[in-house]
Homo-oligomer: A and B are copies of this chain.
């Protein structure tokens, strides 16, 4: 029975019930009438308001805290007062004495309704943190974890009724908590007797209610009251593994961290790892072992940071691109390296974590989100779950740029997805001076359109290169190369300052005008930094970026055609690349279609956020499974129009027919052309083709 706002409960009410106290829960706004004497926890449960409880109303776990809001809530026609709730009884007083209760807090299992009440379910991080704060975005994940802790007191053995100890435990879990047809993780069977006796017949069972079989499972068992359990959300990227450690009971993020994917030693990019498997008989096994060890290491790291025992981790949700997905699960990814790019399995999967050699609680489960297609993996599914194009009316473009770009476009009516072979140029690979994002890497560039002189910023140094004291500040880190995201900015600035033509050719005639234009064989390069090393942007670098951006744009264009739209309402850049690039320059170069800059957002590791959502709310698992089954997958290699869009998108920005509104980006006076400084807008207008 889920009742939101003013609900049918009130309209269908008898007169007697009308006189029952009215209780309103905040912040959900759910309300209902309940007989005098009803515990607040029961009222919350009946209304579907999420209030945690482990001890089952024994006033020992302290998880069910609430606060009474006093006052006249005229809008809701409720006068709420602390006189309308029962005084603390002996159990609640005992809890307060032993474990402490913040001012104004009550245990909802003990506090009874005496009159009209406005109840606040605290959203603080200790008791009931529903708000997950992320670097880039605030997000509320309604909690409905797959694992629930349930405290029970079990009958002692009785020779007259020789039911086994486990069987009597199940009886109480059904009686006190309503769990029917319970199964148990096999490793616990030999432990049941000792745990029951150690707890003097009082134990806490962890129940997993989202097993791929439909029956609930006892996955953990502890003597006495166990009051905390953790989950892990993990995104296995080709380069980086990212992880959140989170309390399943409060939603509090205990730690977030990342680690390098050690598979890099077998091959820098995805395809070289597939090649490694094909060339080495033990290649698949070695890479599976490496990534699982890295995941175990990262679990150790987040547990140390969050001061959590890794054996308190009971549930895990993973996302990964298709090749990482296969290698982590021990599946040979060879088929993904060649057409028709057949996934071994596309649906969501569940395992015992130990089946994948993950060292957490032996009863922990591991859920892997479904893959969308051979090149659009569980990570894209995670990002889709996080950003939710299918949940809204607006047409959302979701782009995650890596070696391939995963592109999802849609709204609540229809979602299409594709992968575009951008190659690694956007990541700084195949770029002559490219390097990883690390101290010393150039991350921001501006080119004076008159003098053609550059100024830049490097990671680890606050000042711009033309500011006083830059040399001193940069002495420690040096200027070592160009990081992936900065490539976009440099090429866009070279275009805006006229160094390169619309076709992407460095204009050799400019060499007479500026010493920055230098010959390089039969072509010309741009000298960005004349130091050690010497950092230049070559004609080949520009070609690589042109190819990459053409592939990305052609993929987007293809999906826009499938959707029958010529613009998108919002754009979400997922992944590290998206976090670092300036959307304005992406639009200048024609990576993405025209869109109001206010509607373009970098959303960080959206795949990891999706994993976190599926971890904290099992409903999101069904949601993304159903969504993925409905997403229309477009294989760019099979679409003849893709080549056409690709060729058109080679130009900078794109040919007018393929990107009609580009020019508006840099001409309309109200467009905010730079978010981090005030200059440039005027100058850039000069590059307008109008």
Q: Which residues of chain A have a CB within 8 Å of any CB of chain B?
A: 156-167, 170, 183, 186, 189-190, 192-194, 211-215, 329-332, 335, 339-347, 349, 351, 355, 371-374, 633, 635, 637-638
CB <8 Å contact, B344 and A160: no
CA distance A152 to B347 in the complex (A): 20
Between A and B, 14 residue pairs with Cβ closer than 8 Å are A160-B635, A163-B343, A163-B346, A164-B345, A164-B347, A165-B342, A165-B345, A167-B346, A183-B212, A189-B329, A190-B344, A192-B345, A193-B335, A213-B215
CA distance A161 to B159 in the complex (A): 60
Knowing that A158-B340, A160-B633 touch, tell me 14 more A-B residue pairs with CB under 8 angstroms: A157-B340, A157-B342, A162-B343, A164-B344, A165-B342, A165-B345, A166-B346, A167-B345, A167-B347, A183-B213, A189-B344, A189-B345, A190-B329, A193-B342
**What distance in Å separates the Cβ of A44 from its nearest Cβ neighbour in chain B?**
31
Question: Which single residue of chain B is at the shortest CB-CB distance from A373?
Answer: B162
Q: Please, which residues of chain B bring their CB within 8 A of the CB of A158?
A: 340
CA distance A335 to B157 in the complex (A): 10
Q: Please, which residues of chain B bring their CB within 8 A of the CB of A193?
A: 331-332, 335, 342, 344
Question: Which single residue of chain B is at the shortest CB-CB distance from A284?
Answer: B190
CB <8 Å contact, B343 and A164: yes
CA distance A132 to B160 in the complex (A): 37
Q: Please, which residues of chain B bring their CB within 8 A of the CB of A156?
A: 340
CA distance A162 to B418 in the complex (A): 11
**What distance in Å separates the Cβ of A282 from its nearest Cβ neighbour in chain B?**
14
Q: Please, which residues of chain B bring their CB within 8 A of the CB of A330?
A: 189-190
Question: Which single residue of chain B is at the shortest CB-CB distance from A636?
Answer: B159
Q: Please state the number of chain copies in the assembly.
A: 2
CA distance A193 to B336 in the complex (A): 11
CA distance A193 to B331 in the complex (A): 9
Question: Which single residue of chain B is at the shortest CB-CB distance from A331?
Answer: B190
- A183-B213, A215-B214, A339-B159 given as contacts; is B344 within 8 A of A166 (CB)? yes
Q: Please, which residues of chain B bring their CB within 8 A of the CB of A633?
A: 160-162
**What distance in Å separates the Cβ of A260 from its nearest Cβ neighbour in chain B?**
25
CB <8 Å contact, B192 and A351: no
CB <8 Å contact, A159 and B343: no
Q: Please, which residues of chain B bring their CB within 8 A of the CB of A215?
A: 212-214
Question: Which single residue of chain B is at the shortest CB-CB distance from A355?
Answer: B186
Q: Please, which residues of chain B bring their CB within 8 A of the CB of A635?
A: 159-160, 162
Other-chain contact of A213, B165, B213, B349 (Cβ < 8 Å): B213
CB <8 Å contact, A342 and B212: no
CA distance A371 to B340 in the complex (A): 53
**What distance in Å separates the Cβ of A23 from its nearest Cβ neighbour in chain B?**
38
Question: Which single residue of chain B is at the shortest CB-CB distance from A333?
Answer: B193
Q: Please, which residues of chain B bring their CB within 8 A of the CB of A351?
A: 186
- A190-B332, A212-B215, A374-B159 given as contacts; is B183 within 8 A of A343 (CB)? no
**What distance in Å separates the Cβ of A197 from its nearest Cβ neighbour in chain B?**
9
**What distance in Å separates the Cβ of A343 from its nearest Cβ neighbour in chain B?**
4
Other-chain contact of A638, B160, B340, B343, B346 (Cβ < 8 Å): B160
CB <8 Å contact, B332 and A164: no
CB <8 Å contact, B194 and A332: yes
CA distance A374 to B160 in the complex (A): 11
CA distance A237 to B5 in the complex (A): 64
CA distance A614 to B94 in the complex (A): 53
